[in-house]
Amino acid sequence: MSTVTIDKAGPTRQVKYGSMSRDRAWALRWSYFFLTLFAIFSLVPPIYMLITSLKSSAEISAATNPWWVFHPTLENYTGLLTSNQFLRFFWNSAWVSIIVVTITMLISVPAAFALSRMKFWGSATLATGVFLTYLIPDSLLFIPLFKMFAVIGDWTGIQLVNRWYVLLFIYPTLTVPFCTWIMIGYFASIPKELDEAAIIDGASWFQTLTRIFIPVALPGLIAATIFAFTVSWAQFLYPLVFTTSTDQLVLPVGIITTLIKGDVFNWGQIMTGALLGAAPPLIIYAFLMDYYIAGLTAGATKG
């Protein structure tokens, strides 16, 4: 395979592609090997979930081959989708995520623009500070945060703990710093002359942001949006701590608290709920995949 004959005018020449093509062949073999390995590794759990979700409780507890469905049934799906409780969790999750994404974008895009372009005293320090706040783990933050909301409740009488909308205040502490940081990187990759041209053309700072920066940095904006959505959709610790009543729960916590009764695990519905819960981010990824990948790689090279 390393020898190719090319027909040219004049005598036929044999062109040998030596070590380059051999190296490439080996690199490809190794990439396929590891990619397959990781694909199996990451796909086995969801496949197992899908298989389990199609079984009845009796079949799950029976000592049959766990990788095969002998009596497929949709009872777990109909059970969950007709349960008001589950739909409530789903809507809570959806509302929280959508509102958090909106809040995050409204804060982090202008913040990133200001930090990357409008040079002001302390802007560089502030930019680093924004990122540092992201590094504080939520497992460390939830106790002081809980205390804060409890104290606010005591002082003002505004009860936020055990309300789904308390999450609207908490999730942005995770999403805003990271999204701001991503957008700072994006805006920094836009050449300085572009905003100077806009300013000379008569654009205000706000017009420069909305009419030049946001359209140009759209892939980054979408990457940040997906990140913010995923974080708020999948967040587990904060809703577990801050919400307890079943009508206030979001999906990840709702599934765990209502489908595990004492030491009885309703595996079929747990798996179904987890699968259904994973669907929205999956759909969003699928639609925005091209943008997302462009978003992750842009700025790596000057183009």
Partner 1 sequence: MADVTLRKVVKRYDDVEAVRGIDLDIADHEFVVLVGPSGCGKSTTLRMIAGLEDISDGDIMIGGDVVNDVPPKDRDIAMVFQNYALYPHMTVAENMSFGLRLKHYPKAEIKARVTEAARMLDITDLIDRKPKQLSGGQRQRVAMGRAIVRNPKVFLFDEPLSNLDAKLRVQMRIEIKKVHQKVRTTTVYVTHDQVEAMTLADRVVVMNHGRIEQIGTPHELYHNPATRFVASFIGSPAMNFVPCRIEDVGGKLHARLTDRLAFPLPPSRATRYQAVPRTDKLLLGIRPEHVAEASPHAEPGIEPFDAMLDVTEPMGMETLVYFTLEGTQICGRVNPNAGAQDGGPLRMAVDLNNMHLLNEVTGAVL
Q: Is 118 in the site for partner 1 (CB under 8 A)?
A: no
Q: Which is nearer to partner 1, 99 or 218 (CB)?
A: 218
Q: Is the distance from CB of 267 to CB of 75 less than 8 angstroms? A: no
Q: Is the distance from CB of 239 to CB of 163 less than 8 angstroms? A: no
Q: Which is nearer to partner 1, 168 or 216 (CB)?
A: 216
Number of residues that bind partner 1 (CB under 8 A): 18
Rounded to whole angstroms, how far apart are CA atoms 9 and 22? 28
Helix boundaries (H) for the chain: 19-53, 57-61, 75-81, 84-117, 123-134, 138-156, 167-170, 172-188, 192-200, 205-207, 214-216, 218-234, 237-242, 251-259, 267-297
Interface residue with partner 1, options 203, 240, 241, 294 (CB under 8 A)? 203
The stretch near partner 1 (CB under 8 A) out of 33-41, 213-221, 224-232, 260-268 is: 213-221
* Token pair 């090279």 in the structure block, residue: 301
Q: Which is nearer to partner 1, 261 or 302 (CB)?
A: 302
Q: Is 66 in the site for partner 1 (CB under 8 A)?
A: no
Q: Is 294 in the site for partner 1 (CB under 8 A)?
A: no
Q: Is the distance from CB of 152 to CB of 230 less than 8 angstroms? A: no
How many CB atoms are located within 10 Å of the residue 108 CB?
26
Q: Is 202 in the site for partner 1 (CB under 8 A)?
A: yes
Is residue 140 exposed (0-12), middle (13-18) or buried (19+ Cβ within 10 Å)?
exposed
What are φ and ψ of residue 220, in 5° steps?
-65, -40
Is residue 257 exposed (0-12), middle (13-18) or buried (19+ Cβ within 10 Å)?
middle
Q: Which is nearer to partner 1, 126 or 216 (CB)?
A: 216
CB of 212 to partner 1, least distance (A): 6
Binding mask 119-158 for partner 1 (x = CB under 8 A): ----------------------------------------
Q: Is 223 in the site for partner 1 (CB under 8 A)?
A: no
CB of 204 to partner 1, least distance (A): 8
Interface residue with partner 1, options 201, 206, 246, 296 (CB under 8 A)? 201
CB of 184 to partner 1, least distance (A): 20
Interface residue with partner 1, options 193, 245, 262, 279 (CB under 8 A)? 193
Which residues would be at the binding site for partner 1 (CB under 8 A)? 191, 193-194, 196-204, 207, 211-212, 215-216, 218
